[in-house]
Structure 1
Amino acid sequence: MFRTPILAILVAMTVTPAMAQDVSLYAAGSLKAALTDVATTFTAATGTPVTTTFGPSGLMRERIEAGETAHVFASANMAHPQKLAEAGTGGPVQLFARNRLCALAQPKVTVSGETLLDVMLDKGTRLGTSTPGADPAGDYAMALFDKSGHAEALKDKALHLTGGPDSAQPPEGRNPYAWVMGGDKADVFLTYCTNAVLAQRELPELQIVQIPKALSVGADYGLTVLADAPEAAQALADFILSPEGQAVLAGYGFDTANGG
């Protein structure tokens, strides 16, 4: 557990009745490992339990709009929490982390950053992405295609294998991208670099290919505290944005909100 001034402040808050209520955190699937650690640390410091629900940001937003109880929403883009804020469901949206796209490739694929576009365009390459609209990772992949000069060809061939309401779900405990690639569903898959690292830990034979600068797409992550949330929800959001929370995110490969 971090032993820092912010946690000392949080510990002092455990005596207030407002902190007794559990905090419900809805967050992007790409944040699962990092924000699970953040939530565990927060609970240890404050005594306030945090229940976590992870999934594609667009689907998480829809569940909140449908009436599910969430107190803090951490999205893989700024647009989904901003939509809640504009509807009066959420408070101001704050940038708390950044990510970027990488490519996962099967070991049999001969590819580098310099040849990635040609490999993706090859008729024999099965190109996987997440589902646009439901999962910001899919939207970012479409933005990459738009920058390529071959958007129509790439969008036509892209297989939307994860992140959608009807996407096949991996077994409990499996990384979804390692599961997709291990099941030989794609030759190349575009996902967040943080996801690619976790997938490679599970399947070391997978290649991680850095996207060339000309095609690179950054991902801004935003969070909002939902209306009528307990006081502890704002404390959790503040902790995610604190140096200690940002250090946890950085440890999982995210760029922090201040660019560090």
Structure 2
Amino acid sequence: MRGWRAGACVAPLALALAACGSGSGSGSDDGGTTTLRVAAAASLTASFEEIATDFEAANEGVELEFQFAGSSDLATQISNGAELDVFASADEATMDKVADLTAADPMIFATNVLTIVTEPGNPQQITGLQDLESSDLAVVVCAEQVPCGAATKALTEQQDVTLDPASEESKVTGVLTKVTTGEADAGLVYVTDATGAGDQVETVEAEDSDEVVNSYPIAVLDGAPSPDEAQAFVDFVTGPEGQAVLQDKGFGTP
């Protein structure tokens, strides 16, 4: 596996990347615009959309096109030959699955930890992870094969907590949606997702969550249609401008 070094078209997944492969394509189109295609973990949505505004302003003629989804789903698409320039994963283990398809060593650009979210006001009076074992609660988590699910498994095992989830979602935003729409009493999401939800949720600290930290790597993909622009985007994310946005959204430093 490659080493790690620290730095800094939304649609159903199966159709989105195929749709992204049509039209003008990556590289320079007839109008002289380069479309840079970035696959990124769903938890990066708000941060990367804000970073895109700054990056495009600083790089005339470059437009960013994002595919946000669960990291494991994106890794599968990359392995199957999806035409993409950059991949940003929510954990190192998922990036490792496509390590042979990256043009350079991935860089760690952010960290994240889990927290508990409930409906506003915390009507079930949840105080911590142990409370989530109650059969009276509808608790949602991420599926184990995605980074937030792997982190949930590690954290609950560490705390000797056994959950019987009402559902297991393919991405962290799915967990958040179940809680904000009242379909679940509580869920485990990243701190950044809870921060972004604002007063739509109540946040309850998960004990020792800082002992289960997800590190987010980013890399230019081998055979990227626009490698120079792809590297410029990676440099922007890992540089001071991108880091400022990420930290404002609640991400930890690399």
TM-score normalised per structure 2:
0.79
> Structure 1 residues 126, 215: closer, same or farther in 2, change over 3 A?
farther
> How much has 1:66 moved relative to structure 2?
1.5
Alignment deviations for residues 44-103 of structure 1 (CA, whole Å, 9 cap, x no partner): 111111111101111011111112111110110012222212x24443111000010000
Instruction: Give me the whole-angstrom Cα distance separating, in 2, the residues matched to 1:63 and 1:177.
Output: 22
> Structure 1 residues 224, 105: closer, same or farther in 2, change over 3 A?
same
How large is the Cα RMSD of the aligned pairs?
Answer: 2.2
- Match among 41, 59, 83 for residue 28 of structure 1: 41
Match status 1:158 vs 2:165: yes
Question: Residue type of the partner of 1:141?
Answer: T
- Match among 211, 220, 238 for residue 225 of structure 1: 220
Partner of 1:125: 137
> Structure 1 residues 237, 256: closer, same or farther in 2, change over 3 A?
same
Q: Secondary structure at the match of 1:208?
A: strand
Contact residue 90 and residue 225 of structure 1 kept, 8 A: yes
Contact residue 102 and residue 192 of structure 1 kept, 8 A: yes
Match status 1:81 vs 2:81: no
Instruction: Give me the whole-angstrom Cα distance separating, in 1, the residues matched to 2:47 and 2:123.
Output: 31
> Structure 1 residues 22, 137: closer, same or farther in 2, change over 3 A?
same
Partner of 1:51: 65
Instruction: Structure 2: give runs of 5+ residues left out of the alignment.
Output: 1-27
TM-score normalised per structure 1:
0.77
Partner of 1:147: 158
> Structure 1 residues 254, 21: closer, same or farther in 2, change over 3 A?
same
Alignment deviations for residues 113-139 of structure 1 (CA, whole Å, 9 cap, x no partner): xxx133112221222101121x21111
Instruction: Give me the whole-angstrom Cα distance separating, in 1, the residues matched to 2:191 and 2:149.
Output: 14
- Match among 110, 122, 125 for residue 125 of structure 2: 110
Contact residue 148 and residue 215 of structure 1 kept, 8 A: no
Instruction: Structure 1: give runs of 5+ residues left out of the alignment.
Output: 1-16, 168-174
Match status 1:200 vs 2:193: no
> How much has 1:176 moved relative to structure 2?
4.2
> How much has 1:178 moved relative to structure 2?
4.6
- Match among 41, 47, 54 for residue 54 of structure 2: 41
Match status 1:209 vs 2:204: yes
